[in-house]
Chain A
Amino acid sequence: MELSAGKTRSRLQDYIASVANCAVEITELKHLSGGAIQDNWAVNLTVAEGEWVGSHELVLRRDAPSGVAASHGRAHEYQLLKAAHSAGVQVPEPCFLCTDTSILGRPFFLMHRISGEASGYLLVKGNDDPGLARKLGLNLARLHSIQPPRNDLVFLGSAPNDPALAAVERYRGYIDSLDWPMPVLEWGLTWLVAEAPTPGKPVLCHRDYRTGNYMVDCGELTGVLDWEFAGWGDRHEDLGWFCAKCWRFGATGREAGGISERAPFYEGYEAEAGTAIDPKAVAYWEVMAHVRWAVIAAQQAARHISGIEPSLELALTGHVIPELELEILKMTLDSGHA
């Protein structure tokens, strides 16, 4: 359903008016480029009176016609954004969710539009930015203050007893479904079983908290994006994913996401969380991060190889696997056990 078509646009406008309980005018409606998982639109509107009086620049996120199994639909993503926003995490403020498919054909929600740069390659080109790293640490700690049980997040299921071993099982399952021998990833997974840390208290993990998934405007963090993989897990999983060498966009010397040293990122986190980070557990989850990214890369390459989705980008993604694997071999060498 093309949103900008007259009828759909007026149906959307009427719907927003019914939620706001007053006259609303959509002044702009434009499709935004985005991933294959979502369908995003820029919506500008004017509200005549009441609580939301004034002009607003929003984003409408609608489920794509075909969802990706491992990611949340818009209804769940809306709940996650609301929970994160209430916990004080810098995110685009969610406005409301519509699950009535008679309006736009598929569920959607509206959130405030944030501005800034998200490209990892551009962000790591700037100067060392300890202030940004500290802010990202603080925001991650606020996210991790969300802990089960939560009635608003029941769709996340129950927290795994041992997040590390649960992840190992998941990635072994993915490798088996690819039917593609990956001995170095198996080597890493064997190490991850042997070295699994004692599970900590479960927290809400973002699971893709890294440079490239947050927006920065004039040096200020404007929002953390891409919540579709969030779930209950170990706090060190997000910390390790953020610091993993594969997410430094070539700025390998700056261990906190290619933007700064680790210290300010850890300090920002610890000051807010009131909990000390276990550096050994972070190192463990950095190995897991490389395994996870390699498995995802193999899945993406398989989409090209199978002929389902011929794509040069997916084909080249398969070629990031060797360097991830070399890193896995290096990281698992010095533990004294492996």
Chain B
Amino acid sequence: MRDRPDTADLLKIARQVLRNDLTDLLPTEKRYQALMVSNAIAIAGRQLGVGGETERRELVVLRDLLGVDGQSEDLYRELSARIRAGTYAAGTPDHARMRAFLETITRRRVGESNPRALDQD
């Protein structure tokens, strides 16, 4: 058990105070840094929000695609090596499935790092 408010709530209110109460008081040359802090808090909050369940689901798909077992880092290494070796190049049987997988994980990551980029789609 953890005490409330939880991590996401704390990050959210901390970011609000920074943006609404503090940024305008800073000298112009320091505002950019405040915006960067606010952006970092927002990314951290979104990464927390997505949680481990999504990554677990992605790994299930990836293990199935690769036909091997292993931890996240090892699986992504194996995947990268196979892509470089041409295993999923255009015209290979798993090309479309692998591309769809890459798009899924990339969209999830854009959703965490800069969701506005998804709006422009």
Interface residues of A (CB under 8 A from B): 172, 181-184, 186-187, 189-191, 194, 252, 312-313, 315-316, 319-323, 325-326, 329, 333, 337-338
Taking the complex as formed, is B30 at the interface, i.e. its CB lies under 8 A from any CB of chain A?
Answer: no
Chain A CB within 10 A, most for which of B88, B89, B91, B95: B89
- Can you list 20 residue pairs at the A/B interface with Cβ under 8 Å? A181-B80, A183-B80, A183-B83, A184-B106, A186-B80, A187-B102, A190-B84, A312-B33, A312-B37, A316-B36, A319-B113, A322-B106, A322-B110, A322-B113, A322-B114, A323-B117, A326-B106, A326-B107, A329-B106, A338-B99
Taking the complex as formed, is B79 at the interface, i.e. its CB lies under 8 A from any CB of chain A?
Answer: yes
How many residues of B are counted as interface, with CB atoms below 8 angstroms from the partner's CB atoms? Answer: 31
Which B62-101 residues have a C-beta within 8 angstroms of A?
73, 76-77, 79-80, 83-84, 86, 88-91, 95, 99
Known contacts being A316-B36, A316-B39, A326-B117, is A183 close to B102, with CB within 8 Å? yes
- Which residues on A sit within 8 Å (CB–CB) of B73? 181
Is A326 within 8 A of B110, CB to CB?
yes
Q: Which residue of A lies closest to B32 (CB)?
A: A313
Taking the complex as formed, is B24 at the interface, i.e. its CB lies under 8 A from any CB of chain A?
Answer: no
What are the nearest 9 A-B pairs in CB distance?
Answer: A322-B109, A319-B113, A181-B76, A323-B117, A186-B83, A322-B110, A181-B80, A337-B90, A338-B90
Complex-state Cα separation, A75 to B84, whole angstroms: 38
Tell me how far the C-beta of A309 lies from the nearest C-beta in chain B, rounded to whole angstroms.
15
Complex-state Cα separation, A187 to B36, whole angstroms: 30
Given A190-B88, A325-B106, A329-B103, list of 17 further CB < 8 A pairs?
A181-B76, A183-B76, A183-B83, A183-B102, A187-B102, A189-B84, A190-B89, A312-B36, A315-B40, A316-B39, A319-B43, A323-B110, A326-B106, A326-B107, A329-B102, A337-B90, A337-B91
- Which residues on A sit within 8 Å (CB–CB) of B88? 187, 190
Taking the complex as formed, is B28 at the interface, i.e. its CB lies under 8 A from any CB of chain A?
Answer: no
Known contacts being A181-B73, A183-B102, A252-B120, is A172 close to B114, with CB within 8 Å? no
Is B76 within 8 A of A323, CB to CB?
no
Tell me how far the C-beta of A252 lies from the nearest C-beta in chain B, rounded to whole angstroms.
6
Known contacts being A322-B110, A326-B117, is A194 close to B36, with CB within 8 Å? no
- Which residues on A sit within 8 Å (CB–CB) of B99? 187, 329, 333, 338
Tell me how far the C-beta of B50 lies from the nearest C-beta in chain A, rounded to whole angstroms.
12
- Which residues on B sit within 8 Å (CB–CB) of A190? 83-84, 86, 88-89
- Which residues on B sit within 8 Å (CB–CB) of A194? 89-90
- Which residues on B sit within 8 Å (CB–CB) of A312? 33, 36-37, 40
Q: Which residue of A lies closest to B115 (CB)?
A: A323
Is A316 within 8 A of B40, CB to CB?
yes
- Which residues on B sit within 8 Å (CB–CB) of A320? 113-114
Tell me how far the C-beta of B36 lies from the nearest C-beta in chain A, rounded to whole angstroms.
5
- Which residues on B sit within 8 Å (CB–CB) of A172? 84
Q: Which residue of B lies closest to A322 (CB)?
A: B109
Tell me how far the C-beta of B95 lies from the nearest C-beta in chain A, rounded to whole angstroms.
8
Complex-state Cα separation, A320 to B106, whole angstroms: 12
- Which residues on B sit within 8 Å (CB–CB) of A183? 76, 79-80, 83, 102
